[in-house]
């Protein structure tokens, strides 16, 4: 990474932790991993950041929320498609 270059983060707020269907979430993550692998992605040693990060954050009202953070919009969009399908199937 060059000095002064800033990495973009795409943060998807999935809502309060107690409202996130963990089974659908796990399935969406699995589908994203399979999609990414099928695309012949770069090996992890060639990337300077993780593909995604999962965080639980506390909002200003004290509610715990689940967020997924991506480095590329394409990955975030793919995950959202998988997430929406899994939630609808559940």
> Residue ranges of the domains in the chain?
10-89
Average confidence (pLDDT) over 45-52: 64
- pLDDT bin (cut points 50, 70, 90) of residue 79 is very high
Q: Domain 10-89, what architecture?
A: 2-Layer Sandwich (3.30)
Looking at residue 45, what is its pLDDT?
52
Taking CA atoms, 12 is separated from 3, 45, 83, 89, in Å, by 27, 25, 11, 20
How distant is the alpha carbon of residue 11 from its chain centre? Answer: 8
Average confidence (pLDDT) over 62-84: 93
Residue 66 backbone phi and psi in degrees, to 5: -100, 130
Residue 67 backbone phi and psi in degrees, to 5: -130, 150
Q: Per the structure block, which two tokens stand in for 54? A: 């999962």
């Amino acid at each position: 990474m060059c000095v002064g270059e800033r990495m973009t983060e795409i943060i998807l707020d999935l809502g309060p932790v107690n409202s996130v269907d963990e089974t659908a979430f796990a399935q969406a993550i699995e589908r994203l991993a399979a999609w990414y692998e099928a695309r012949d992605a770069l090996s992890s040693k060639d990337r300077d950041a993780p593909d995604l990060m999962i965080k639980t954050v506390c909002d200003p009202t004290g509610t715990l929320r689940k967020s997924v953070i991506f480095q590329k919009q394409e990955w975030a969009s793919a995950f959202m498609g998988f997430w929406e399908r899994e939630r609808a199937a559940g």
